[in-house]
């Protein structure tokens, strides 16, 4: 599954690069000795950004001089972003019209080609002074699934025309993908800011409570009016080292070899980091793609393994409590062991091959995580 170049291959590649560089340098030196020198000023390539875009995050800013600030990180194909806009979009437009609140839109494109096309069109619309109109329209007319094929360039231009976006400048901007570099800069800014999900809403730099404030208009109005009322959510659980009396192999991407446990099973959730990941951090609201092995503590037998049929994708909000408490905070590329007591698994009823009152050992490789 994970093919890596051999050491010999690396050496050959490195040697080829060195030879190429030496050859290039030599030919350049020869050329310099046979041609007259021509002085010229170095060219500077500046990124083209839409009207209203402000570095370093490159969001589109309204009311830049207002003291209170709202940052919105959204993707036009993100269904939860559409839900947020349906709940709070009109109120946000009112705040912008009143001029009392600085609002910065960071239109991301992590969900594929149509996200990129729509984000580019949003930049083009900003040049025409119609970003808010297109922003509202695109969220009100989301497709049911990402990259559905709905938002072709021709269809996008057709619908934008109903909003008065008919100039040749706008059409060229959309058709030629004028703001591709700007879109990449927005995505880079999100990554460097450790943005974990869309939508993300910050008020004066503080994220609102993801559990209570995003999809409740009353709560959202309250925290915008009084940012001090934001209730900081409880942090995700962090891995706590646990003493294991059995071994687990440490090669990510290969089925783990798990030794037999001994002694009495623990009565509380045990979380252990076997291989620290380096990628995106899983959240409770995520869908995660994993490989895992499930062992019964009492028998030491493997009950289930995804390695036989390949990775599986699960919604963390719909799995057993032990996973809901133990997987969030895990990074992609990591391996984690969860020792889950019956109270956080299948209890005294059991399930299928899982015996009643079974303490479960899961060894999980996190391959990907998707923020809805």
pLDDT (tens digit, 9 = 90+) per residue, 68-91?
999 999 999 988 899 999 999 999
Nearest to 159 by CA among 144, 174, 179: 174
Q: How far apart are CA 25 and CA 344, in angstroms?
A: 65
Q: Which residues contact 27 (CB under 8 A, 6 or more apart)?
A: none
Tokens of 270: 């045990």
Q: Where residue 250 falls among pLDDT bands split at 50, 70, 90?
A: very high
Is pLDDT above 60 for 304?
A: yes
Model confidence pLDDT, tens digit, residues 18-42:
333 333 333 333 233 333 344 444 3
Tell me: domain 270-370, CATH 3.10.50.40, correct?
Answer: yes
Same fold, 53-229 and 270-370: no
Higher-pLDDT residue of 144, 51: 51
Q: What is the 3-state secondary structure (H, E, C) of the chain?
A: CCCCCCHHHHHHHHHHHHHHHHHHHHHHHHHHHHCCCCCCCCCCCCCCCCCCEECCCCEEEECCCCCEEEEEEEECCCHHHHHHHHHHHHHHHHHHHHCCEEEEEEEECCCCHHHHHHHHHHHHHHHCCCHHHHHHHHHHCCCCCCCCCCCCHHHHHHHHHCCCCCCHHHHHHHHCCCCHHHHHHHHHHHHHCCCCCCCEEEECCEECCCCCCCCCHHHHHHHHHCHHHCCCCCCCCCCCCCCCCCCECCCCCCCCCECCCCCCCCCCCEEEEEECCCCCECCCCCEEEEEEEEEECCCCCEEEEHHHCCCEEEEHHHCCHHHHHHCCCCECCCEEEEEECHHHCCCCCCECCECCCCCEEEEEEEEEEECC
Percent of the chain with pLDDT over 90: 58
pLDDT for the residue numbered 194: 60
The domain spans of the chain are: 53-229, 270-370
pLDDT for the residue numbered 233: 58
Q: How far apart are CA 289 and CA 50, in angstroms?
A: 36
The whole-number average pLDDT for the span 242-270 is 88
pLDDT for the residue numbered 140: 96
**Which class is domain 53-229?**
alpha beta
Q: Are 60 and 50 in contact (CB under 8 A)?
A: yes
Is pLDDT above 60 for 4?
A: no
Is pLDDT above 70 for 137?
A: yes
Tokens of 347: 């209890």
Is pLDDT above 50 for 9?
A: no
Please name every residue paired with 184 in a beta bridge, in sequence order, or none if there are none.
none
User: Among 22-26, 198-202, 255-259, which is the least confidently predicted range?
Assistant: 22-26
pLDDT for the residue numbered 231: 83
Do strands 101-108 and 68-75 pair parallel, antiparallel, or not at all (unpaired)?
parallel
Percent of the chain with pLDDT over 70: 83
Rg (CA), the chain: 26
């Amino acid at each position: 599954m994970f093919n890596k170049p051999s050491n010999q291959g690396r050496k050959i590649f490195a040697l080829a690069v060195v030879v190429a560089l030496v050859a290039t340098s030599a030919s350049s030196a020869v050329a310099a000795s046979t041609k007259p020198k021509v002085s010229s000023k170095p060219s500077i390539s500046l990124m083209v950004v839409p009207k209203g875009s402000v570095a370093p995050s490159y969001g589109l800013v309204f009311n830049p001089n207002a003291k209170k600030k709202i940052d919105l990180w959204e993707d036009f194909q993100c269904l939860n972003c559409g839900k947020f806009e349906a709940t709070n979009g009109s109120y946000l437009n009112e705040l912008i019209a009143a001029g009392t609140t600085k609002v910065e839109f960071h239109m991301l494109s992590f969900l594929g080609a149509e996200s990129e096309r729509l984000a580019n069109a949003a930049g083009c619309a900003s040049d025409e002074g119609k970003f808010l109109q297109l922003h509202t329209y695109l969220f009100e007319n989301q497709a049911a699934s990402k990259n559905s094929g709905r938002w072709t360039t021709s269809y996008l231009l057709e619908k934008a025309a109903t909003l008065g976006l008919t100039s040749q400048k706008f059409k060229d901007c959309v058709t030629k993908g004028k703001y591709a570099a700007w879109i990449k800069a927005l995505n880079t800014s999100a990554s460097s800011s450790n943005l974990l999900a869309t939508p993300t809403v910050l008020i004066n730099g503080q994220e609102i409570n993801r559990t209570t404030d995003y999809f409740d208009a009353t709560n959202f109005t309250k925290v915008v009016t009084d940012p001090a009322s934001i209730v900081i959510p409880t942090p995700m659980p962090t891995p706590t080292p646990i003493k294991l009396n059995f071994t687990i192999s440490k090669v990510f991407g290969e089925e783990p070899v798990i030794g037999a446990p001994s002694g009495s099973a623990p009565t509380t959730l045990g979380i252990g980091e076997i291989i620290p990941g380096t990628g995106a951090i899983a959240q409770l609201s995520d869908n995660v793609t994993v490989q895992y092995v499930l062992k019964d503590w009492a028998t030491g037998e493997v009950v289930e393994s995804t390695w036989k049929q390949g990775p599986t994708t699960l919604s963390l909000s719909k799995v057993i409590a032990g996973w809901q408490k133990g997987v969030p905070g895990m990074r992609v590329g990591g391996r984690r062991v969860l020792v889950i007591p019956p109270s956080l698994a299948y209890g005294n009823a059991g399930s299928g091959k899982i015996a009643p009152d079974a303490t479960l050992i899961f060894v999980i490789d996190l391959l990907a995580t998707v923020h809805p």
